[in-house]
Copies of this chain bind each other. A is one copy, B any other.
């Protein structure tokens, strides 16, 4: 296959989907769930080559069975109220699949999900405030594909504050840095490669503010899914590999 052809990208949108069903104010912003807005973003910016399925906490195995993950190129993760309810076997399965090549886009409070923390190896702690700050999202890596076509700064009129020190490993590529009206800063767009998988963490997007309705936020999201798409997912989980002398000559 030549690189000029763009194969189908299979995206699974994992939305915890608790707030939208319990809180009237959240449902007013996202009547169909946040995942419906993400789906629209992918359709607008990536077009017909994307195929999207949804998965939620309350489903059997949280909707992330072996067969679903086996048919997922990029997994999007949003969780907040129920990180602890995610089954550890599912976490193992997702982490294993990322190391074998599946892309992961972790949104907002997913910084504290089991999946993200396992892949980072750190506490992923941060400072926070629910105080109606304005957030400005600045591009610090203008040639990065995730910054493609994105205005700088993105202005988010009202948003939860996330502030440093954000306890993550130094990102392989830092794409966005945010400021908040209160004066805090945050590394809000971070790329990590883990195993054969690509991971993008993007902090804008709280359930109580209509952040995902902002055009440039949608564009970042779609760019991130595009960037995280693997070219190859390994069949087998990792194992140490014994290699005889000159093993590579036989390949």
Task: Give chain A's interface residues, CB within 8 Å of chain B.
Answer: 2-4, 6, 45-49, 95, 99, 101, 112, 118-123, 125-129, 131, 134, 136, 138-145, 148-149, 151-153, 155, 161, 163-167, 169-170, 172-174, 177-185, 187, 192-198, 222-223, 226, 230-232, 237-246, 248-249, 251
Contact = CB atoms under 8 A, between A and B. Distances in A.
Given A153-B183, A169-B192, A245-B131, A46 B164 contact: no
Contacts of A239: 125
Contact of A3 (B165, B197, B226): B226
A167 B238 contact: yes
A143 B198 contact: yes
Given A126-B241, A138-B165, 14 more contacts: A3-B222, A6-B6, A123-B238, A125-B238, A127-B240, A127-B241, A129-B243, A134-B183, A136-B185, A143-B198, A169-B169, A172-B173, A179-B184, A184-B243
A170 B141 contact: yes
Contacts of A248: 136, 153, 155, 183
Contacts of A237: 123
Nearest to A50: B4
A183 B136 contact: yes
What 10 A-B pairs come out closest when comparing CB atoms?
A: A123-B238, A121-B121, A125-B238, A179-B179, A119-B121, A4-B47, A127-B243, A2-B47, A148-B231, A179-B185
A251 B151 CA distance: 9
Contact of A121 (B120, B172, B184): B120
B140 A242 contact: no
A180 to B, nearest CB: 8
Nearest to A103: B143
Contacts of A131: 244-245
A230 B142 CA distance: 10
A236 to B, nearest CB: 11
Nearest to A133: B245
B153 A165 contact: no
B193 A170 contact: yes
B251 A142 contact: no
12 contacts: A2-B47, A4-B46, A99-B123, A121-B194, A129-B243, A138-B184, A151-B251, A163-B243, A170-B173, A174-B174, A177-B177, A179-B185
Nearest to A242: B128
